[in-house]
Structure 1
Amino acid sequence: ILLVWWALAIPLTFALGGGNHPWYLIPMYLPGAVLLGMVPAALTDGTFQRAARSAVGRSHSPETAAHEDGNTAADDNDAAVDGFAARLPGIDCPRAYLGERGRAVAYPAVSLLLALLLVLSYGGALAEPYNQEQREIGQTVATEVPEGETVAVWLAGNLTTQSLMTVSFYADRPLENVSTTRLRTDESIRYAIVPPGRETTLNRNHRVLAEGPANNATVVAFSD
């Protein structure tokens, strides 16, 4: 139950509370992997069926159903348990059909197939275009900007340096939020990240080092 709750609570939390990055789902990989290993095995060796029958038997225990005359309803409960148990998926037919060698092959094959489906469903989504673009921008900054030099950041809307975490990681240069006024007047600022096409409004000589349309960011170096 804990593993099922763990695996389901993470996507439900971000679905209800907000979250649009696939890597938010990484914490559910552990319970998902354990369940992938346990569930096929439990279905194959009959553990799941025995546990379900045992749970049904406890839920219909004779002690919980007594008649007013002092007699229990054990017979009725036993019949109900047997009827429900008969409807549970059995393993005798598949086991007999597959045989010992077939079961030895089927279990790892099913497990590998489930693992492959899990990887295919999440692996491709982790390659976000804007994240790859930020990586390239950061690498360009690391190459073009001297070590220790601060890169000023002016982005449109409510975007700030926090929106460029990947750039900051690969650039390994300090990023500082600044206003357009300071960009225009402070000649000590030698490098900046600005919205695409807005670098011309700063009235400063510059050259473009990198462009990131997916992130609405352009890296410029001022030459005045």
Structure 2
Amino acid sequence: VSLKTYVERMRPDQKEIYYISGDNREIVEKSPHLEIFKAKSIEVLYLVDPIDEFIIHDIYNYEGKQLKSITQGDLDLGELDKEEQTAKKKAESKFKKLSERIKNILSDSVKEVRITTRLKDSPACLVADEKDMGAHMEKLMKAMGQEVPQSKRILEINAEHPILQNMNARYEKDAKDPELEEWARLLFEQALIAEGQMVPDPLAYSKRVNSMLEKISSL
């Protein structure tokens, strides 16, 4: 799809051109970052050729429409997600302490934990800060042998998801519940896997999953 065709098909109340980049179409099509866009029938460009990532940063905007990565920075669709933004403000207050707890647990890996509007089915996802290098660009630069400064990303959590609601209930019951740490780390690791990344410690991840399965299967 060309930029010209994309703009012609944009919704009247849509202000930006949205895109997502990745190694291949199969990976980006399954990205949790697309959930709100699918729900709102908003088209997203798939950039799966390595050169696309470099070209897109030189374009900035097309016909007055800014190009926006859906995996980077905060997401505000204006009138298109007005209902979700209202719900987000309420959730931010309700989940404030849990978000801080998760951030403390994952302090070595994430710079912030915040409520998201971009998720519908998934419990969490990772996004790059607006001024930081995106995960896919970082991967490409490393593959080219370039030194890339390590930057922490932002963990966005879905307050409507049962996992987060259960975690919040457990936190309110016991803020020091040791299970919260395991759940928080699993959220982070699964967010990495969902975008095609490797978890830092596969063995530790496997042990966490097995431990959870053991507890569930014994109920």
Q: Structure 1 length as normaliser, TM-score?
A: 0.22
- Normalising by the residue count of structure 2, what TM-score does the alignment of the two structures yield? 0.22
Which protein is bigger by CA-based radius of gyration?
A: 1
Q: Which has the higher contact order (CA 8 A, sep 6+)?
A: 2
